[in-house]
Each structure stands twice: as C-alpha cells, then as structure tokens.
Amino acid sequence: MVDSLIINEWLKKADEDLEFATSVIEDSPFYAQICFHLNQAAEKYLKSLVIAYDLEFKKIHDLPVLLKSCLVRKPGLEILMDDCRLLNGFYIDARYPVHPNVAKVEDAVDIRRRG
C-alpha cells in the first residue's frame, strides 16, 4: 500500500521549489537558478507519481525517463514529454558556468505559466 504521507512530502518539496522559482521570476537576473528550481520541481512531481503508482523508484534525475515510468500507469502524461526534455537540460547547465540560451529560459518559464 502506498503511504500518502510520503507522497505528500514529495509534493510539498516540489511545491517549495516551484514557489521559490516563481517568486523571483519577475525581479531576478538569475535565470539559470530559476530554471534549476523549475527542473527540481518537475522531478519531485514526477517522483511523487512514481510513488503514488507504486512504480519502481529509481534514484535518477532524468525527467524524460521518469515521465516514461509514469506513462505505464498514466499514458495521457505523454503531452509533457517536450517540457520534460526542455527542463532536463537545466539540471546540469544551471549549476555550472555555462550561459543558458535566453529562449530556452523563456520556454522554461512558459512551462510554469501553462501549468
């Protein structure tokens, strides 16, 4: 049986990442960090689904792979694949001295707005 407390813990942490990222979008020049937190929120939301559906929990950070795991139980989530691919790039890029493509940053922020 799935423990709803564990699922809620994952959702709470995902909400925190999302709320942090969205709270600074308008006033911050730290686009890479914002996108990193959007990536982290997406990862935690997907992992909460993995737990909720009692799927194999893998300690990975690859959003498309996590989404594919969830598709077994919720095929309609396929529509999120392009968003997962976009956000996936920010896991590494946002943490190291690279220059994120401004268009990609804007796309990541748009994912949240579509939300």
Look at the chain and report how many structural domains it folds into.
1
How far is Cα of residue 95 from the mean position of the Cα atoms in its chain? 15
Secondary element (H or E) of residue 106: helix 102-114
Residue 30: CATH number of its domain? 1.20.120.330
**Side-chain half-sphere CA neighbours of 9 within 13 A:** 6
Q: Stretch 85-91: mean pLDDT, rounded?
A: 87
Which range of 24-33, 79-88, 96-105 scores highest in mean pLDDT? It is: 79-88
Q: Is the pTM of this model over 0.85?
A: no
Domain that holds residue 51: 4-114
SS3 content of the chain, % helix, strand, coil (to 5): 70, 0, 30
Give the integer Cα–Cα distance in Å for 99 and 94: 8
Confidence of residue 103 (pLDDT cuts 50, 70, 90): low
Q: Which residue has the tokens 């077994």?
A: 72
